[in-house]
Chain A
Amino acid sequence: MGLSSKSVCDRPVFTNIFETHAESVRNFIYYKCGDKDQAEDLMQEAFIKLWQNCKKVFFEKAKGFLCTVANNLFLNQVAHNKVRLEYSKIPRSNKNVETPDFVMEEKEFMNTLQKAIAELPDGQREVFLLNRIDKKTYKEIAEMLGISVKAVEKRMHNALKELRKLVKNI
């Protein structure tokens, strides 16, 4: 396997890694803990660990390293909030008739969906949101979490089934 000669210890390379991966690592932790500040802190801490270990980590492995470290840091913390995602108003340009009832129903559904996401098991939620919101491929998610693509697919499948159940119940 040909690894590039790019060194993580170079400041520009490090900055580049940060620009590419910081947000997804932050979101990855956010989907676990539901606390934006905590996620931001853990992400930064993971990058600091990467810098401290820059000689040992290949450029290509940096992202995996970051995710593993961030995940471990997360596991070391006890506090754990419910994940609450913000959503934007659904544009309805293709519908000419927009009754107040319909708007109410829409809003209700989004609230329900938000609660349902919070109720998902952690493992399913992180995979599902990374795919749906961060548009990560199954392969990328598998690398981030250190699990197989098959396992990611299973979690996706189960997450959607679970969500439907939760939405019906709430």
Chain B
Amino acid sequence: MLSENENTYLAKWLNNELSTEDLEELKRLPEYEDYRKIIEGLTFFNPPSFDLKESLQTTLDKLDQPKKGKVTWLKPLLYAVSAAAAVVLIVGIFFNTVSYSTTIGEQLAITLPDGSTVDLNASSSLTHTRFFWSQHREIELDGEAFFKVTTGTNFKVVTKLGQVEVLGTQFNVKNRSNEFQVGCYEGKVRVSSQKDSVQKILEKGEGVSLKGEKLIEEKVITPEPLWKKGESIFESTPLINVLDELERQYNISFRRDKIDQNQLFTGGFRYDNLDLALESVLVPMGIEYVINGTMIVLTPK
């Protein structure tokens, strides 16, 4: 009996394992002719051609280049990793500082990695380390800048003439060629000059400037440094410093050889009008000036 449950009588038939009765029964099935035709048709199919000699040769050739695949695969990866590491190192060593700078008449607002903000006045530059700066907040400043410092570890501003340590939050540092001036607008800062160990703690509304080798106390009246509003005010300041500031805010240079630069100036100028600025500084000082392109020749009256 051909049992459908067993499900293998066709396999047995193909293998000549069927008993005579089962074979007779299979041959009586209506499908038998189809099966026979399919099996007969299959005898004419060929497996795809196979060249044993050639195949053996290529395989043996492959054997004789031992494990080439694996080794060559890893090497470029190793090189790539090394190269990447080298780049990171070089970047770390040579690019471990971030610098900002402004040119004549330009101001720049900067946000530091810890969220503190700095406003940089004209012709100034500011530098700090790129990595791990938040753990060691130190900034090198050349020029003038106004700081709003967020809480955290000590915040220090280092300049050529003196340094400022933050005990509170808002202060202005001015460090020009021979001028060092700090004003505290909020909180507390500690100021020390680079030359000697004189220290001053400034509270809100207090300021100091370096005169000779001494830190002279000043008063800060405005809630923000005036340069942020586009003007400069001086009080008994040597004219040389005022002229320098003019040169930083406007693209001009003075010929100063005929005038006395040490006379003291009290007054101010704005950053948005050159003619007005020159007038407000030079007329009260009794200095005549001739504008010649960007060169301004100064003569006493």
Contacts and interface: CB of A to CB of B under 8 A. Distances in A.
Interface of A: 15, 18-19, 22-23, 26-27, 30, 36, 39-40, 43-44, 47-48, 51-52, 85-90, 109-110, 113-114, 131-134, 137-138, 150, 152-154, 156-158, 160-161, 163-164, 167-168
Given A48-B59, A164-B34, A158 B48 contact: no
A15 B59 CA distance: 10
Contacts of A52: 67
19 contacts: A15-B60, A22-B59, A23-B52, A26-B55, A30-B48, A48-B59, A87-B44, A90-B44, A113-B38, A137-B15, A154-B8, A154-B11, A156-B8, A156-B10, A160-B10, A160-B14, A161-B10, A163-B38, A167-B38
Nearest to A40: B55
Given A44-B58, A44-B62, A157 B10 contact: yes
A168 B30 CA distance: 14
B99 to A, nearest CB: 52
Given A27-B47, A30-B48, A132 B7 contact: no
A156 B34 contact: no
B10 A18 contact: no
The residue in B45, B46, B58 that gathers the most chain A C-beta atoms within 10 A of its C-beta is: B45
A110 B44 contact: yes
B59 A18 contact: yes
A43 B50 CA distance: 12
Given A88-B44, A109-B37, A164-B34, A23 B58 contact: no
Contacts of B63: 48, 51
Interface residues of B, number: 32
Given A160-B14, A167-B38, A48 B62 contact: yes
B8 A113 contact: no
Nearest to B12: A153
A158 B46 CA distance: 22
Contacts of B37: 109
Given A113-B38, A160-B38, A164-B34, A138 B44 contact: no
Nearest to A127: B11
A18 B56 contact: yes
B48 A44 contact: no
